[in-house]
Structures are given as structure tokens and as C-alpha cells.
């Protein structure tokens, strides 16, 4: 296989980039020329089309402060939907952008996010090898992967490539190189397994609405992600102040009591059989809250009726990040 390596210095070939409203500009960090970015959740796409199915993205990156994020973009369907793996000074994170929103609150835990040694201020070589079934990320000259993804949330489609940032960061010498296909064992959503763990896996989701809206709502069927979370970002654009209503049903052979467990972001009201059983908020507010959706965040004693039970929630968006919920009924077969 003959390989062609495409190189973008980034700081002096801006005409090859679609800068959009990123504000990206040439600068220097620690004596090296680079492209400087500082806007929140901002992507810069390459103008060139790349049709490789298996390829390597590599760049030199630096994050000057203790808080900052720099990432590599691939599989972009459009400017609001793309695959993203980013570095922070002390972690690496898979964060697929959906309808313009970061989704790290939904995709959390060791399948999507791992710690790194603190690299604040230092130049690092960041590499992502992309395959149709997944991606592998590397840092520095070490041979071991830092993150292995066996499922890409946008389906592994060919799409635009680029770079991404949130707060100040630097990037230089981006290269793209076709590589040999290397099959990865694809992880799929196993609804049967999730149901055995008592997750509610099927929901109906309303159109977004504001607090004072009383219009009749339209509903769409939706299923949870591979980790049991209902990802509303996949369905609707997250905008501060809007809410959706979600609903489902649970059939129980005989009356019983269980502990229902719940994770969500950002704000929720929850009803079982039209009785409100929980109300609260959970969003990015360190150190008290990290905003990540975990199914065991709240545990609520509940009583189930014999026959059909209804469960519904109103979920409010406040910060344009991950938006969703995960519910486990505690009803084991």
C-alpha cells in the first residue's frame, strides 16, 4: 500500500482551513510557531476532502494553563455533528459533538475517558488512528494506546477532518496519512443486557419547550445508548432554558417495592404513576458537581403497581452540554 502524507503547518497555511468564527490565529508558544485557539467549543475544518477509510491524524499540541482542551476532529457530517477526541492537561476524552453540543456528560467512564499525567504547558505529540469500527489515541512517543474506542457514535462515516478547542490552546504540524485497515471488535448497544440490568431502554421524547409553553407536544421514539443513557443531544439541539418531557411504561406482575436509581443532566422532575418522586439539578459545578450522567447518582424507594406503570420526566437544559437521563427500575426478573 502506497501512502500519501498530507501536512498542514496550520500557522502559515490559513487558506487551507475553514476558520469559521473560531478566531484562530498564528502565534508562538515556547518558541514554536503554532495556531492559537481560545474560543469555547470551536472547530476548524480542513478545506481539503479526505476519503480515507483508515487513516492517522497527528499533531503537536500544547495547553498553556491548568484548564484547557485541544482535540482532533474526524467523521464530520456537518459543522454541528462530528467525532472528537480531546486532551485536557490531566485526561483524554472521547466527546462526539451532537447538534452542536459536547456530550462528555453522557460518554463518561473508562470506555470514553482516562486520566493522563499532568502535561500543562508542554508540547505533546497527539495521534489518533481512525478505523471504520473505532479509533485509537496515542500521546507522545510511547507505543501504548491512551484510549481505545470500539464504537463511534456517528457511525464511522467518512467526513470532514479538523481541529477543536475549548479555552486557550496551541496546535501545529497536523498530518494525515492513510494506514492499513486494522479491525476493531465493534461494541454495539445490547438492549437485552441493559434490560437485564433493569434499565429502561425505550422512551418517548417530546419536542423541546420553554417553561411557559403549553402547546400540544409531538413525540418521537428513542432508545438508550450503549451505556444505558437516553441521549437527548442526539435528538434535539441543547439550548439553555429549554426542556423536554420523556415517558415510558413498565409492566409488573404484582405489586412490589424497589429502589429506583437515576442519573441525569441538567435539571429534572420525575413522576411515577403521576406522583412526583424526585426533583433536582446536576450539572458542571466543580467541586460539588461534575455533571456526568451516572445511573446510580440518586436512589429513590418506590412502589410499583401490579400491571401497567407510567414513568415520566421533565428534563431541563441549562448549559448546552450533555442532556439526558438513565433510569434503572430495580425490577429484576
CATH code of the domain containing 133: 2.60.120.560
Question: Beta partners for 267?
Answer: 281, 316
Which residues, at least 6 apart from 262, have a Cβ–Cβ distance to it below 8 Å?
A: 268, 270, 278, 295, 297, 298, 299, 300, 325, 326, 327, 328
Out of 118, 144, 178, a domain closes at: 178
User: Which parts of the chain have pLDDT scores under 50?
Assistant: none
pLDDT of residue 18: 96
Residue 185 in any domain: the answer is no
Same domain assignment for residues 25 and 171: yes
Same domain assignment for residues 169 and 209: no
Residue 183 in any domain: the answer is no
Reference 166, options 235, 88, 53, 218; nearest CA is 88
pLDDT of residue 319: 87
pTM of the model: 0.94
Residue 147 in any domain: the answer is yes
User: What's the CATH number where 230 sits?
Assistant: 2.60.120.260
Residue 333 in any domain: the answer is no
pLDDT of residue 2: 53
pLDDT of residue 185: 80
Phi/psi of residue 192, nearest 5 degrees: -65, -45
Domain that holds residue 305: 191-328
Same domain assignment for residues 119 and 246: no
Overall domain count for the chain: 2
Residue 81 in any domain: the answer is yes
pLDDT of residue 1: 53
Same domain assignment for residues 223 and 311: yes
pLDDT of residue 156: 81
Same domain assignment for residues 323 and 282: yes
Q: Which residue's C-alpha cell is 470551536?
A: 42
Same domain assignment for residues 148 and 205: no
Amino acid at each position: 500500500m502506497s501512502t500519501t502524507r498530507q501536512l498542514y503547518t496550520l500557522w502559515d497555511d490559513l487558506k487551507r482551513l475553514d476558520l469559521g468564527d473560531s478566531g484562530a490565529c498564528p502565534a508562538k508558544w515556547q518558541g514554536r510557531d503554532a495556531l492559537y485557539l481560545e474560543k469555547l467549543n470551536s472547530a476548524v475544518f480542513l478545506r481539503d476532502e479526505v476519503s480515507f477509510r483508515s487513516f492517522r491524524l497527528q499533531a503537536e499540541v500544547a495547553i498553556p494553563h491548568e484548564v484547557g482542551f485541544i482535540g482532533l476532529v474526524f467523521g464530520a457530517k456537518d459543522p454541528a455533528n462530528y467525532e472528537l477526541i480531546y486532551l485536557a492537561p490531566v485526561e483524554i476524552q472521547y466527546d462526539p459533538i451532537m447538534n452542536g453540543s459536547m456530550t462528555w456528560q453522557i460518554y463518561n467512564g473508562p470506555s470514553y475517558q482516562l486520566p493522563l499525567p499532568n502535561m500543562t504547558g508542554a508540547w505533546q505529540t497527539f495521534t489518533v488512528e481512525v478505523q471504520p469500527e473505532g479509533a485509537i489515541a496515542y500521546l507522545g512517543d510511547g507505543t501504548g494506546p491512551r484510549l481505545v474506542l470500539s464504537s463511534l457514535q456517528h457511525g464511522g462515516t467518512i467526513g470532514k477532518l479538523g481541529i477543536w478547542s475549548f479555552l486557550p490552546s496551541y496546535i501545529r504540524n497536523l498530518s494525515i496519512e492513510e494506514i492499513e485497515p486494522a479491525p476493531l471488535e465493534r461494541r454495539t448497544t445490547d438492549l437485552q443486557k441493559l434490560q437485564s440490568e433493569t434499565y429502561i431502554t425505550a422512551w418517548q421524547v417530546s419536542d423541546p419547550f420553554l417553561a411557559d409553553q403549553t402547546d400540544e407536544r409531538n413525540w418521537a421514539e428513542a432508545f438508550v445508548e450503549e451505556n444505558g443513557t437516553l441521549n437527548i443531544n442526539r435528538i434535539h439541539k441543547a439550548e439553555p432554558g429549554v426542556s423536554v418531557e420523556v415517558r415510558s411504561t413498565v409492566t409488573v406482575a404484582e405489586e412490589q417495592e424497589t429502589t429506583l436509581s437515576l442519573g441525569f443532566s441538567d435539571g429534572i422532575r420525575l413522576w411515577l404513576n403521576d406522583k412526583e418522586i424526585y426533583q433536582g439539578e446536576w450539572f458542571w459545578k466543580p467541586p460539588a458537581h461534575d455533571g456526568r450522567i451516572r445511573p446510580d447518582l440518586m436512589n429513590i424507594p418506590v412502589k410499583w403497581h401490579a400491571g401497567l406503570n407510567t414513568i415520566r420526566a421533565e428534563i431541563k437544559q441549562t448549559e448546552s452540554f450533555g442532556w439526558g437521563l438513565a433510569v434503572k427500575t430495580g425490577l429484576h426478573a
